[in-house]
Amino acid sequence: MEAMIQIKDVTKTFVGKDNQVEALKGINLSIQKGEIYGIIGMSGAGKSTLVRCLNFLERPTSGTVLIEGKDLATLKDSELRSMRTQIAMIFQHFNLLMQRTVLDNICFPLEITKVPRAKAVERAKELLEIVGLSEKMLAYPAQLSGGQKQRVAIARALATNPKILLCDEATSALDPTTTKAILALLKEINEKYGITIVIITHEMAVVQEVCTHVAIIDEGNLAEHGTVEEVFSRPKSKAARKLVFQGEGTATYEEMKGKRCIRIVFSSNSSYEPVIANMILTCKAPVNILLADTRDIGGVAHGQMILQLPEEEAAAEKMIQYLKNRKLEVEELTNYVG
């Protein structure tokens, strides 16, 4: 199947007066139709630049962006503009027209595409129904709350029946409850209309809540990508771990360096037995629990724990063996705490 969005070797370099900033250093990514794809990274990682390359608000310095197989770089100005009606975008600060009513904001993209006024109004009313803001039709953006503004922005984005919806930190300016409601709306839209959604965020919780897939961007590189389940339960790259196990590795415990550490991953069915307590009793040696955490990923509980093993080799080996016998995933961490 042809990918909805295909990103090939995309780089972007910003040239300043006396310095160059490489925002993207060769990104390859493929997003399928109907996916909710999260792109997560620390601020300054290049994720906002990447999403702007998907509708050519930023032109990549090199590499290609294909939307349903069409190379954006080969399009003429007018063709690019008509392509953009198919790639809607919402923003952190909503970017509504402050001098227009809610209704006229939603009509705006339709005006651009020269849809007759009566038809545009009809469509706008329909969309207001979907985002649950019909009673605010004649209000101005200044009279709305943040969550309501983002709903208007979503309605506006959907006006032209786009195939793709790009969300650039769309919930970062909202409180947690409103964030949940907006994410639920996005999920609903994705399921009802099959719109492919790309979500740029720095918040793990956002990806966990709605995304099917995730890519982790770190200093302009693609650190890791895959299904949310894969990446979040077994993050491989350093950047991914830093995001997934937030707080881990930020402190340095000097005295622990050099000792052996292991990561244990609990899947859903292994959390009943008091494994660690039993292990300590069996092996007759103490362990140091450095981190323990349970997360709900896609409805399945995933636990993980990082243990520091005793210095004595035999006891350490015995423990690893014990855990492996309990069918737990055990992974040795070299130089953990770094």
Partner 1 sequence: MWDSQVVLMVAEGTWVTLYMTLASTLIAYLLGLPMGIALVVTAPGGLKPNKIIYKILDVVVNIVRSIPFLILLMLLIPFTKLIVGRSYGATATIVPLSMAAAPFVARLVESSLLEVDHGVVEAAQSMGAGTWSIIWKVLLAEARTSLIVGATISLGTILGYSAMAGVVGGGGLGDIAIRYGYYRYQADIMIVTVVLLVALVQILQIIGTRLSKKLDRRITG
Task: List interacting residues with partner 1 (CB under 8 A).
Answer: 55, 57, 77-78, 80-85, 87-89, 91, 93, 95-101, 108-109, 111-113, 140, 142-143, 153, 156, 160, 166
CB-nearer residue toward partner 1: 93 or 259: 93
CB-nearer residue toward partner 1: 169 or 209: 169
Shortest CB 109 distance to partner 1, Å = 4
Shortest CB 192 distance to partner 1, Å = 21
* 20-31 and 196-201 beta bridge pairing: unpaired
CB-nearer residue toward partner 1: 113 or 282: 113
Shortest CB 136 distance to partner 1, Å = 13
3-state secondary structure of 80: helix
Q: Report d(CA 321, CA 164) in Å as an integer.
A: 49
Shortest CB 48 distance to partner 1, Å = 11
Shortest CB 91 distance to partner 1, Å = 6
Q: Report d(CA 64, CA 53) in Å as an integer.
A: 9
CB-nearer residue toward partner 1: 134 or 143: 143
Shortest CB 46 distance to partner 1, Å = 17
Q: Six-digit token pair at 296? A: 């709900």
Which has the closest alpha carbon to 204: 296, 289, 267, 271? 296
* 20-31 and 5-15 beta bridge pairing: antiparallel
- Is residue 242 within 8 Å of 338, Cβ to Cβ? no
CB-nearer residue toward partner 1: 87 or 305: 87
Class of residue 237 by CB neighbours under 10 A (exposed 0-12, middle 13-18, buried 19+): middle
Q: Report d(CA 158, CA 156) in Å as an integer.
A: 5
Shortest CB 101 distance to partner 1, Å = 8
CB-nearer residue toward partner 1: 100 or 259: 100
Torsion of Cα atoms, 239 then 245 then 249 then 253, to 10°: -160
CB-nearer residue toward partner 1: 81 or 119: 81
Q: Report d(CA 15, CA 10) in Å as an integer.
A: 16
172: CB partners within 8 A, 6+ apart = 92, 201, 202, 203
How many distinct helices (H) and strands (E) make up the chain? 11, 14
